[in-house]
Amino acid sequence: MLERSIALARTFALALVLAVAGAAPAAAGDDGVVRVRSAYPTDETIARLKRDIAAKGIRFFVEVDQSQLAADAGVKLTGVRRSTLLVFGNPPLGTQFLNARPAAGLDWPVRLLVQEDAQGNVWATYTDFAWIARRHGIDPDTAQFKTASGVIASIAAAVTAP
Quote the pLDDT of residue 77: 87
Quote the pLDDT of residue 27: 59
- Which positions of the chain have pLDDT values less than 70? 1-29
The H or E element that residue 37 is part of is strand 33-37
Residue 162 inside a domain? The answer is: no
Residue 133 inside a domain? The answer is: yes
Residue 148 inside a domain? The answer is: yes
Residue 39's domain spans which residues?
A: 2-157
Predicted confidence (pLDDT) per residue in 105-120, tens digit? 999 899 999 999 999 9
Quote the pLDDT of residue 42: 97
DSSP label of 124: E
Q: What pTM value is reported for the model?
A: 0.81
Residue 146 inside a domain? The answer is: yes
Quote the pLDDT of residue 28: 59
Quote the pLDDT of residue 22: 35
Coil, strand or helix at 111: strand
Quote the pLDDT of residue 24: 45
* Number of domains, the chain: 1
| 146 burial level (CB within 10 Å; 0-12, 13-18, 19+) | middle
Quote the pLDDT of residue 58: 96
Quote the pLDDT of residue 12: 37
Quote the pLDDT of residue 41: 97
